[in-house]
């Protein structure tokens, strides 16, 4: 949704649908970015985390498609400017030179920004679904929200458990 958007929100349902479309675009963009992040990582643990999250992300997109179907709609992507920017930042980390351990720390930093964005987005649409009386959809969104939180915690464990220590030792 751009600054000069002509989007109109007449009710909470309009906003809910818009936010689902934004998340659907975000998940698709992330599906394209995660393999590149995995390739750029030197830590095997980090590579595995990125590839595992890639499979989860594909599942998140499928869940959104199921939600659109339950709403009687075709899945539609609203350009997610935030994810475009986050992916661009991640690409800068992928392309960066220097010590591999420091680069891994940079990749984790970029990935956690993505996770925090997704956590905010899914928390919001889950709350909208509850408000709109769509409890089954809210439960589906909560499942994705839980997985995003787990990925964020895993990235923190990888960073604190080894990557940041290795990065600090780099000269």
**Does 156 reside within a domain?**
yes
Range of the domain at 124: 12-162
One-letter-per-residue 3-state SS of 41-75: CCCHHHHHHHHHHHHHHHHHHHHHHHHHHHCCCCC
pLDDT over 80 (residue 6) = no
Predicted structure pTM score = 0.92
The count of structural domains within the chain is 1
pLDDT in tens, 36-71: 999 999 999 999 999 999 999 999 999 999 999 999
- Give the model's pLDDT for residue 87: 95
Sign for the pseudo-dihedral over CA of 56, 81, 130, 111: positive
- Please, what is the Cα angle at 140 between 18 and 32, to 5 degrees? 65
Q: Is the pLDDT score of 5 beyond 80?
A: no
Residue 168: inside a domain, yes or no? Answer: no
CATH of the domain at 74: 1.20.1260.10
Residue 3 lies in a domain: no
pLDDT tens sequence across 80-125: 999 999 999 999 999 999 999 999 999 999 999 999 999 999 999 9
Residue 33 lies in a domain: yes
Arithmetic mean of pLDDT over the chain: 94
Specify if 54 maps to a domain.
yes
Are 152 and 116 in contact, with CB atoms under 8 Å apart? yes
Q: Is the pLDDT of residue 166 over 70?
A: yes
Does the residue 5 lie in any domain? no
Task: Say yes or no to pLDDT of 1 above 90.
Answer: no
In a domain, 1, yes or no: no
Unique residue bearing structure tokens 């964020």? 152
Q: Provide the terminal-to-terminal Cα distance of the chain, rounded to the nearest Å.
A: 43
90 found inside a domain: yes
| 7: pLDDT strictly greater than 90 | no
């Amino acid at each position: 949704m751009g600054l000069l958007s002509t989007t109109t929100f007449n009710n909470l349902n309009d906003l809910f649908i818009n936010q689902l479309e934004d998340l659907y675009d975000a998940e698709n963009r992330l599906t394209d970015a995660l393999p590149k992040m995995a390739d750029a990582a030197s830590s095997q643990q980090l590579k595995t985390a990125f590839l595992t999250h890639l499979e989860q992300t594909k599942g998140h997109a499928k869940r959104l498609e199921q939600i659109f179907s339950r709403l009687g709609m075709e899945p539609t992507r609203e350009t997610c400017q935030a994810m475009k920017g986050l992916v661009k930042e991640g690409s800068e980390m992928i392309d960066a030179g220097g010590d591999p351990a420091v680069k891994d720390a940079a990749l984790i930093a970029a990935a956690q920004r993505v996770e925090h964005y997704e956590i905010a987005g899914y928390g919001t649409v889950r709350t909208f679904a509850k408000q709109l009386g769509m409890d089954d959809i809210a439960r589906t969104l909560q499942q994705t929200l839980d997985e995003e939180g787990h990925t964020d915690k895993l990235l923190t464990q990888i960073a604190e458990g080894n990557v940041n220590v290795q990065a600090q030792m780099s000269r």
